[in-house]
Amino acid sequence: MGKYIELTQENFESTVANGVSLVDFWAPWCGPCRMLAPVIEELGEEFDGKANICKVNTDEQQDLAVKYGIKSIPTIIFMKDGEIVDQMVGASSKQALSEKLNSLA
């Protein structure tokens, strides 16, 4: 298992409050989400100590999905100090995600 953080209603706010966070909204039945999973794990390793690499299972955390207006998955939200600064919908390349994280760090 990678170094990503599983977010829930209980730990979401405290986890993304400081620094840069990538939040992947996904579900186990979603094909593109499963394709993206190894990329998220690699980013978790590479950005350990530099950014929070997080995942939200939308089946288990429906309130968070509603709160952040998630209409389709995978959706990746980029946050800085608790504020949403960008969003990507659909599976993205590791390079695109890395570049976005580096631009925010």
What are the residue numbers of the active site? 30, 33
Counting Cα atoms < 13 Å in the Cβ hemisphere of 72 gives 6
**DSSP character at residue 51:** S
- Give the integer Cα–Cα distance in Å for 43 and 46: 5
- Amino acid in position 44: G
- Give the integer Cα–Cα distance in Å for 94 and 35: 11
